[in-house]
Structure 1
Amino acid sequence: MKSLGILVILVSAVLFGCDNSSAPVDVSNTSTDSTPTEVTEASSEITPVEITDASTLAAEYVVNGTNPNGSGYVGQVDVATNTDDSVTLEWTINQDKWTGLGEITNEGKLYVRYEGGFSGDGTWTLMSDGSLSGEWKADGDDQSGTEIWKKQ
């Protein structure tokens, strides 16, 4: 009988309209009787996570960045793990190259010192979707740029 009640509700939703434009709904906490318990929206929020092992960063990433002056750029960064748990990085932006050496901080973020067309440093945070989000600053500059890295 309970199955019939659920079937009637589902058929009614299909026949009388159901707005599919809303966010996904988590119904895993509904009871097996005919009275549903609290229904919550599924979370798709991307949140920071701690980097606990540098080897998890080894990959090729697509870079989307913004310079301190607001102009944007796209490129690639290759991250390789070293035996001492540091990482070596190589950016290619247009045809320019930068190299960097990074380490995991006590806060579980990636700190990088880089050089190329100019030198500087930055810090990147691992996000729950596997991307890295960071902020960098060139030596002698008081404004910073940003980058988001997504695995290829």
Structure 2
Amino acid sequence: MSGDSMRVNGTPARGHDPGARLLDVLRDDLGLRGVKEGCGIGECGSCTVLLDGEPVCSCLVFAGQAEGRDVVTAEGLAPAGELGRLQQEFVDHQALQCGYCIPGVVVSAAAHLAGADHVDESSVREALSGNLCRCTGYSKLVAAVLATADDGDQA
């Protein structure tokens, strides 16, 4: 076990196996169930988290690679027990069905909104291209992200 730490949703996390997948540390050790395992090979985006503000597939990152870095999961995008503006737009636009992919989609969308100079349909579709959703058809996902960008409140 490692004595080093990473910050997960703003809280230091210590004592994890640096050789474990970040996905497993987040789900199994820290109980963050919003991080989902879909494919396990970085193709579906269900396990997307922010690592120092950049979206990554946590199934492809070793916990040791996150040492000293900031990790944000879908749970960390808003205060505990609350929905951020982006998350609320997903609800308002009915941009979810089974919900399995949604945490990863929301994390990818949040990264795009935080880092894009201009947000339009094309840029949102590109930002979400690493997240597979078999239920929604993407139109409502894109609409929710665009509504958040139009509100000017990116959180």
TM-score (norm 2): 0.23
The structure in which a higher percent of residues are helix is: 2
TM-score (norm 1): 0.23
- If asked which structure has higher relative contact order (CA below 8 Å, sep 6+), I would say 2
The structure in which a higher percent of residues are strand is: 1
